Structure 1
């Protein structure tokens, strides 16, 4: 029998052929479903300062969020976005430092760091800050955002004996630069009054 014009319906593994008359036949479908695959080629990597406690296993993810989490598209080239507007810095570099001497014996000497912040518009902000000002910034941010400690990297450790040695200063410079990049590239931190006080005082 020619079934080219027949209607076929696949229901629960059985194929039903409707010939257009009162007679219809149901038999197991010959096609087998393809196995489901999961994309694993591009895993998401957390930032290095993100603590292990933030990682969730697949069993912890809500089934509802998987079933109803539709794919959405966002046009980041035009339009207004609160988060994009809050992020105003492109990068931070600390290239050099200066040692400010105290009295003749060297007591009271301290290091000032020369900071360059490049904004998204291409302009640059130049700052000079001491380590203690970074320490105050971090403490004030933690008081303002008490639940954000895991996303805020620690400052490089303090030094008493070797604080003017070149190797120690270079390691401190790298740590301070990393800290400030993490803060300024976070929309919540970079738009806060605490950050503005650090920049303009």
Structure 2
């Protein structure tokens, strides 16, 4: 074992201890991420110094299994209706007016309650347990703010995002679970 000589500038005078960190041995292994990365000439673009732009590709005309499952272009929730219960204040609920635009130019109009979105998410998670991470969470519930416009607007945005993510995912878009939600 090597003995270390204290550096007078780094010796703790009060305790008589050396606080200088030990120098690494000459045969120390250097982690690969510390080493300088060298590119070979084949990976360098010698012509244009600008990076290439992102290219979007339209695969809707392809006959792959994934593209066959896709049938929706977009979904949105434009507004909602508060259905009042009788007597007033008891049994009220919100119905969301959803519009799904299809790839063939048509559209589907849906009227759904929040509880139906909850059921859809639960059934999709049960049917596709390994893909639950691809499903965004639904907006939270609230007992107090249920009918306040600000709360309803945030919920509308969250439900619209959820519906788009589900409809535009080829794994979910062709599933019987989603079809049951859309056509019931």
Q: Judge same fold: TM > 0.5, yes or no.
A: yes
Question: Displacement, 1:36?
Answer: 3.6
Aligned residue among 172, 178, 183 for 1:189:
172
- The yes-or-no answer on 1:172 pairing with 2:155 is yes
Deviations 1:108-164, CA, capped at 9 Å, x for gaps:
100000000000001010000000000000000000000112111000000111110
Tell me the TM-score normalized by structure 2. 0.69
Aligned to 1:132: 115
User: For residues 83 and 40 of structure 1, what CA distance do their matches in structure 2 show?
Assistant: 34
- The yes-or-no answer on 1:143 pairing with 2:143 is no
Aligned residue among 95, 99, 111 for 1:112:
95
Structure 1, 155-164 or 101-110: larger mean CA deviation: 101-110
User: For residues 175 and 199 of structure 1, what CA distance do their matches in structure 2 show?
Assistant: 18
User: Which structure's relative contact order is higher, taking Cα pairs within 8 Å and 6+ residues apart?
Assistant: 2
Tell me the TM-score normalized by structure 1. 0.64
RMSD of aligned C-alpha atoms? 2.5
Match of 1:148, SS? helix
Gap change, CA 1:79 and 1:160, over 3 Å in 2: closer
- The yes-or-no answer on 1:157 pairing with 2:140 is yes
Gap change, CA 1:35 and 1:75, over 3 Å in 2: closer
User: For residues 36 and 168 of structure 1, what CA distance do their matches in structure 2 show?
Assistant: 52
**Structure 1: tracts of 5 or more residues without a match:** 1-32, 45-73
Gap change, CA 1:110 and 1:146, over 3 Å in 2: same
Aligned to 2:65: 82
Structure 1 residue runs of 4 or more that deviate by more than 4 Å after TM superposition: 38-44
Please give the residue correspondences for 1:7-22 in structure 2 after superposition, counting only pairs within 5 Å: none
User: For residues 141 and 93 of structure 1, what CA distance do their matches in structure 2 show?
Assistant: 20
Aligned to 1:18: none
Question: Displacement, 1:40?
Answer: 10
Given that 2:172 and 2:178 are in contact with CA atoms closer than 8 Å, whether structure 1 keeps it comes out as yes
Given that 2:60 and 2:67 are in contact with CA atoms closer than 8 Å, whether structure 1 keeps it comes out as no
